[in-house]
Amino acid sequence: MSDISVVEEATSIAKAKPSKRQSPVGYDTRPNAPWGLQRISTASTVSGSAKAMDYTYSYANNGLGQGADIYIVDTGIYTEHNAFTGRAHMAWSHNSDMTDSDGHGTHVAGTAGGDVLGVASNANIFGIKALDSGGGGWSSNVIAGIDYIIQSHDARKANTSNNTYNFVGSVISMSLASSGPVQAINLAIQAAIHAGIHTVVAAGNDDADACKSSPASSGGLKGGAITVGSIGMNAHVSSFSNYGDCVDVYAPGEDVISAWIGGRDMVNSLSGTSMATPHVTGIVACAMQGNATLAGDPGLMKEWVRMMGLGGNGAVVVANNGVRGGEGGGEGMLGFEKGAGNGTGFRILEGRRRG
């Protein structure tokens, strides 16, 4: 048939596998944040304990992604978690199970759009369950999930005339990886981008060329997606992170605290490019809010994300939301001491490092 682009054998897909190694003028600030939120909102050095949720998140627009739709293609989302403040909904599942029995998808969603824990704390969050309770799945399910997102995006966009959803745009977050390039997945992502949907994907955790797997190979110099590698608190590339021409930016991916399953106040600390990806997803969601030009143009958004990044000119580009200074102005260190306390009311699970 003329509308079939390619026939390809179904390939096994999994969440990006674990690492084998382990207020000032011009912007607002929010306390009690994980370290990653401070890293993406300052040009200053970040230091301290990764488990200390007393870092400062800075942002120029207090809308924080309001009206933006974030689609988390993963293991599902525990929508009742306190971090989601009623904004998270399960939208689609490959097997009709709308729960997250693994936790990976909930963790990713918490970083992308959770309250206290996340970047775009006012965005709408939709769970697309393409992976099973063990974090694995098939390329056909990922593609079906992307197809659903395109249809949902088109429908919600069509209703902007009566402001039914306060809709500003859509972004897909994909923290998963295949064992090799999957043309069908890359074509599905290309279709989503053509439909005006921003797509942010994980680089993978094999300490290898990101172009050798999907969806990572749909970004960088090879495609329109935004592929994200991982850095630690010192802004050095993580030992496990994939790299190369298919990577656009790097974001916090080591010891990232975010939402977890098992209770409304549970959080967990995980590492991987899976954790780095939603930081950039949240940046994109925030950038869409109040900027119709960026919201409607994935290509322009990709350029903006790279332009806002710290570094460049051959160096590692570290994702940044456009806020470069610290408390008191300028480029200095933020003006507070970092301890090991956790003043958020969330309970941290120990010993879980996956991604």
DSSP of 86-146 = T-EEEEEETTS--S-SSSHHHHHHHHHH-TTT-SSTTSEEEEEE-B-TTSEEEHHHHHHHH
Would you call 74 helix, strand, or coil by DSSP?
strand
For 156-191, write each residue's pLDDT tens digit: 998 865 555 689 999 999 999 998 899 999 999 999
pLDDT(340) > 50? no
Q: Provide CB contacts within 8 A for 125, sequence distance 6+.
A: 70, 72, 77, 84, 87, 88, 89, 109, 112, 113
Catalytic residue among 104, 107, 153, 198: 104
Catalytic residue among 213, 217, 271, 274: 274
pLDDT of residue 335: 26
Active site residue 23: no
Positive or negative, the Cα torsion across 13, 14, 20, 21? positive
Is residue 205 within 8 Å of 240, Cβ to Cβ? Answer: yes
For 248-258, write each residue's pLDDT tens digit: 999 999 999 99
Q: Half-sphere exposure of residue 175, counting CA atoms within 13 Å on the CB side? A: 37
How long a stretch of residues is the chain?
355
Across the strands, what pairs with 151? none
Is residue 345 within 8 Å of 265, Cβ to Cβ? Answer: yes
Amino acid letter, residue 89:
H
- Neighbouring C-beta atoms of residue 2, cutoff 10 Å: 4
Active site residue 274: yes
Distance between CA atoms of residues 122 and 83, nearest Å: 11
pLDDT(147) > 80? yes
Active site residue 104: yes
For 66-96, write each residue's pLDDT tens digit: 999 999 999 999 999 999 999 999 999 999 9
Distance between CA atoms of residues 277 and 253, nearest Å: 8
Please report which confidence band the pLDDT of residue 6 belongs to, taking 50, 70 and 90 as the band edges.
Answer: confident
User: DSSP class of residue 154?
Assistant: H
pLDDT(100) > 50? yes
Distances (CA, A) of 75 to 15, 128, 154, 197, 229: 8, 8, 24, 21, 20
- pTM, rounded to two decimals: 0.88
pLDDT of residue 349: 54
pLDDT(143) > 70? yes
Catalytic residue among 74, 102, 132, 255: 74
What is the share, in percent, of the chain residues with pLDDT greater than 70?
Answer: 84
pLDDT of residue 312: 59
pLDDT(13) > 90? no
